[in-house]
Chain A
Amino acid sequence: MRKDRNRFFKDIKLQKEPIRESVSTEDTILARNPILQQFINNFSNHSDLSVTEFPHLTVKIYYFSYLINKDHYEQFLSNIRTITLDELPPFLNHSEFKRLSNFDSIEEAILSGSGILFTEKRAYELPFKEGSGRSIAPSETETVILGAHDSFVESIDVNLSLIRKRVLSSQLKTIKLHVGNKAKRTVYLLYIEGEASEKDIEEIKKRILSIKNDAIVDTNMLVQFIDEHPNSPFPQFYTTERPDVIAYKLFDGKVAGLMDNSPFAFCTPVSFFDFMESMDDFGQRWIVSTFIKVTRYIAILVTLLFTALYVAVTTYHYEMIPQALLPTLLVSRSKVPFPPVIEALFLEFLLELLREAGARLPTKVGQTIGIVGGIVIGQAAVQAGITSNILIIVVAASAIASFVVPNYLLSTSIRIVRFGFIIISGFWGNLGIIFGMGILIIHLSSLTNLNSPYLLPISPMFPKFFKYSLIRGSFKKKAERG
């Protein structure tokens, strides 16, 4: 048994060091290259690292076979086979081969899918990068009716190209940054020179560079490392899958950020009202989209307060019930054994379960959830006397209203805050709701995003900007005003 294990380890050890072996058999000229030595030391336990040697050229090529594009690689091999030792320096002077002078750049290049060619003294990057990935598809989280349907993918190059295509200007600048200590992730900051403020760029750069965490896998995660109020339920950096949104925000003087292997871009500084915007607003006539925007604000209030108001009215303020509604409310409440706050929390919790289950399940099973949820919550709960009819309507209305909020992050935060309102209204009725609103407004106005207030055109007040954030003004007027 033990013997077997040892043998097993031995095998692994053998497998693990194909590089050393090849080095030892090779003439020592290559070992004189200090960069190569450092490289071999650092990549010593990589059994998946491939190496191709050309002894007559005194050249070694290292690469990860699954990261490269095989066609590019074959093409390169057929080229290099035909040349002689004398032809090698001019061949490597070719512009597509970048000379790498330190280990860090070599490490980054090979991990991102390039091949590394080592000569006696130097190292070169061979562009074998695999271009393919998920193809560009319509966004799932931010669908629009009027507007472009492409969205970001996991490849940062494709994402950059999507933005470049929309911002045809040499003023679009990019800054490349690396996040993390060991596993370096690439982050691009984009801005339009002259539009974006230098201070913002410096600030966001500083914050990204100060991140010490390695396990950042997505933009939505990245922004939580750089926001100012980590304990707030509200999203502070605007993240989106849509290149047209980012292009629009760039022209608006904002700084955008892309991260490799994430289909989300972030954007800063933004306010609460940016989260209430959809690209559809710009396609509609301004009267229509102003109406829709106002509808969204009402929807937020409905989501936040409707269930809480039901609890407050049925628990404390029976005077507020209109006479015509009293019979229905009394009849449907009379069977329910719980106080309204328990009843409401129960139903809201059930709805959250349903929503979460639906979000994680495959589409086909999701339909079953919909039917089961609809029938169980809608019919049986009332008949069994667990909840009242009116509450079902109230909860359903506030759930629907929560889906009206165009930004998924904000919509989720508001749904969570709603639970606070239900509980506080169960304690203090309408007084509690007013207190809760006060606390919420104080909290929102104390938030900042990149030192810019979260409720910007309202607090601090700039009535001039209401037209382009609270509602959507006419473009023609905007153009005339410049």
Chain B
Amino acid sequence: MNKFILIIFIFLVTGCAEQRIIDDLALINAVGYDLSDNEKNPLKLTVTFPIITKDGKYDRKTIMVEGKTSKEAREKVRFKTNYKLESGQVRVSLFGQELAKEGLLPNLHSLVRDPSLGTRVKLALAENEASDILMLQIKNEGQNATYLEQFLSKLNRENFRTNYNIYQYLRDYYDDGIDPILPVFKVEKNNIAYNGIGLFHEDKLIEILKPSEASYLFLFREEMKQGVFVEQIDVGEEEQASIMLNYELKNHHIEVPSTPNKPKEASIYIELIGDIVEYTGKEDVSEPKIQRKIEAIITKKIKMEGKKLIIKLQKLQVDPIGINRYVRNKMSYNQWKSLDQYKSYQDMNINIETKVFINSTGKWK
């Protein structure tokens, strides 16, 4: 009898958890943050969530509001839908370029603070306005959020390690030896397209690298395990050939020589093994001699383009490769604290040592 009373108490006294039945919810799957011209409400929030139309079809609804902060804007979204707003299904969070230049951290913090959001929410930048991307209605494409998430996962699986979620972004942000990067998307002929990599100094966007430059950046970042190298190379005098190389990054390490004070130089060693997929030159690439020659040309090309890129990064005072982590590893904590890291980074002489091996030239002789 006592047990029975206890069970009754357990059910009646504790009450029930707050019910969130999925068909009554607006499950936000993407949010976009932009700056607006409105001075009172500087933040423009765009959310998109799936709805089921009256004839039983899976559709989406996108709502755009302006507010003071992201949570205040969210409250305004709440007044614009008949469903209960829930953010537990957010997959992608987009930031407009203007907003990113002012710093992502306040908005990121409000994302992290929400317990229903995981740290695996993917982040991306919009070249112009995040709302443009989320509002875009692509024919037969369904949810923009699903599209973006698949796009980001695909980029990650392929050769661009741009799978940036909140965890990775914040890890790179709080690690004082490296700066975070984020992929950039833009609206292009009624489609959403990848358009390079945004470089951050702390949480502020500094510059957007073109996709062609970005592919060199990834060559020097260590997460990169394999990729495609497509480039115009000079063969002989005044003669150009297009080459495509499927490569595997066999070896990657960064060396900073130990110095008592300020580090003067650093070297990035990479070793590629590749298969030639396309070559438009006149020579027969199956010949070892020609292969050696091409290897030398590619090595030179990587060195040259890489150097150009690194000088650009040094000028911008951004360190997405993480050279400062290696600098930090070579000195004591006090030395590191007293070091003006971006200043020393800017003055550093960074060498690139590349080795390229051509493994095969494809199926055809």
Q: Which of A314, A318, A323, A334 contacts B52 (CB 8 A)?
A: A334
What residues of B have a CB within 8 angstroms of the CB of A314 in the complex? Answer: 21-22
Q: How far is the CA of A319 from the CA of B22 in the complex (A)?
A: 10
Asked if A427 lies at the interface with its beta carbon under 8 angstroms from chain B, I say yes
Cα distance A315–B86 in the bound complex, in angstroms:
13
Give the residues from 307 to 337 in chain A that come closer than 8 angstroms, CB to CB, to chain B. 314-316, 318-319, 321, 323, 326-327, 329-331, 333-336
- In the complex, residue of chain A having the shortest beta-carbon distance to the beta carbon of B142: A327
In the complex, what's the smallest C-beta–C-beta distance from A307 to chain B, in angstroms?
16
B25 to chain A, nearest CB (A): 6
CB distance from A110 to the nearest CB of B (A): 49
Contact residues in A for B89 (Cβ distance below 8 Å): 318-319, 321, 323, 326
A269 within 8 A of B: no
Contact, CB under 8 Å: B88 / A326: no
Q: Are B22 and A333 in contact (CB under 8 A)?
A: yes
- In contact, A336 and B23 (Cβ under 8 angstroms): yes
Residues on B with beta carbons closer than 8 Å to the beta carbon of A336: 23
A315 to B11, CA, bound (A): 17
CB neighbors of B among A436-463 (8 A)? none
A465 contacts chain B at the CB level, 8 A cutoff = no
The answer to whether B88 and A319 have CB atoms under 8 Å apart is: yes
B103 interfacial by beta-carbon distance below 8 Å: no
Number of interface residues of A (CB under 8 A): 22
- Please name all residues of chain B whose beta carbon is closer than 8 Å to the beta carbon of A330 when the two chains form the complex: 22-23, 27, 50, 52, 58
Q: How many A-B pairs fall under 8 Å by CB?
A: 61
A339 at the interface (CB under 8 A from B): yes
Interface status of B260 (Cβ within 8 A of chain A): no
Q: Known contacts A318-B88, A323-B29: does B22 contact A431 (CB below 8 Å)?
A: no
- A335 touches which of B11, B56, B57 (Cβ 8 Å): B56
* Chain A residues near B19 (CB-CB < 8 A): 315-316, 339
The DSSP consensus for interface residues of chain B is: loop
**Interface presence of B16 (CB below 8 A):** yes
Chain A, residues 320-362, CB within 8 Å of chain B (1/0): the string is 0101001101110111100110000000000000000000000
CA distance A474 to B23 in the complex (A): 52
A97 to B20 CA separation, bound complex (whole angstroms): 80
The verdict on B116 contacting chain A, using a C-beta distance below 8 Å, is yes
Partner of B20, one of A318, A326, A333, A428: A318
Which B residues touch A329, using CB under 8 A?
Answer: 22
A429 at the interface (CB under 8 A from B): yes
The smallest C-beta distance from B359 to any residue of chain A, in angstroms, reads 37
For the complex, is B149 an interface residue (Cβ under 8 Å from A)? Answer: yes
CB distance from A303 to the nearest CB of B (A): 23
User: In the complex, what residues of B have CB within 8 A of residue A331's CB?
Assistant: 52, 56-58
Contacts of B44 in A (CB 8 A): none
Q: Which residues of B contact A429 (CB under 8 A)?
A: 17
Decide if B50 touches A333 in the complex (CB within 8 Å).
no
Using Cβ atoms and an 8 Å threshold, which residues of chain A touch B23? 330, 333-334, 336
The answer to whether residues A334 and B21 also contact, given A323-B91, A326-B50, A326-B89 and a CB cut-off of 8 A, is: no
Chain A residues, CB < 8 A from B149: 323
Q: Are A327 and B25 in contact, CB atoms less than 8 angstroms apart?
A: no
Residues of A within 8 A of B110 (CB): none
Which residues of chain A come closer than 8 Å to B29, judged between CB atoms?
323
Q: How far is the CA of A254 from the CA of B49 in the complex (A)?
A: 62
- Return chain B residues, CB-CB under 8 Å to A323: 29, 89, 91, 146, 149
Q: Which 10 A-B pairs have the closest CB atoms?
A: A319-B88, A334-B52, A333-B23, A327-B58, A318-B22, A334-B23, A314-B22, A427-B16, A315-B21, A331-B58
Residues of A within 8 A of B (CB): 314-316, 318-319, 321, 323, 326-327, 329-331, 333-336, 339-340, 427-429, 431
Known pairs A323-B89, A330-B23, A333-B23. 9 more at Cβ < 8 A?
A315-B19, A318-B22, A319-B88, A321-B22, A323-B149, A336-B23, A339-B21, A427-B11, A429-B17
